[in-house]
Amino acid sequence: MKVIVDATIVSREAGSFGNVSGSIDLSAEPRIGDTISFNSTKAGSDLPPGFNGLVRVRKRVLTAGGDPHGPLIELEDIEVQSVEDAQALISYLEHAFN
């Protein structure tokens, strides 16, 4: 099932760093409180420092009339230690999940 995920990346060093969003495939539609694993088996995709790959679903937004890209799944903030870790996280997510 396709869903659109959205999360804020926060650095302990610098505060709010940025936002990641995009369409991903999941085996089922996640509910509030569920955890999505972003652990990838894709070659060259090692988890960046400070990120265990697990992110909890905070909110689910369903579009009236349906959305061909699936529901919007808002995730909890992803917190890492440094700006470099935040940049590595973004690079990891882009490479592993487009």
Dump pLDDT digits (tens) for 54-75: 999 999 998 888 777 789 999 9
* Sign of the four-CA dihedral 3, 5, 35, 31: negative
Residue pointed to by tokens 């999940």: 97
pTM of the model: 0.85
Dihedral of CA atoms 95, 46, 31, 63 in degrees, nearest 10, equals: -10
What gap in Å lies between CA 45 and CA 72, rounded to an integer?
25
Please give the pLDDT value at position 76: 97
Q: What are the distances in angstroms from CA 9 to CA 67, 69, 72? A: 25, 23, 17
What gap in Å lies between CA 40 and CA 66, rounded to an integer?
29
Please give the pLDDT value at position 15: 84
**Is 85 in contact with 20 (CB distance < 8 Å)?**
no
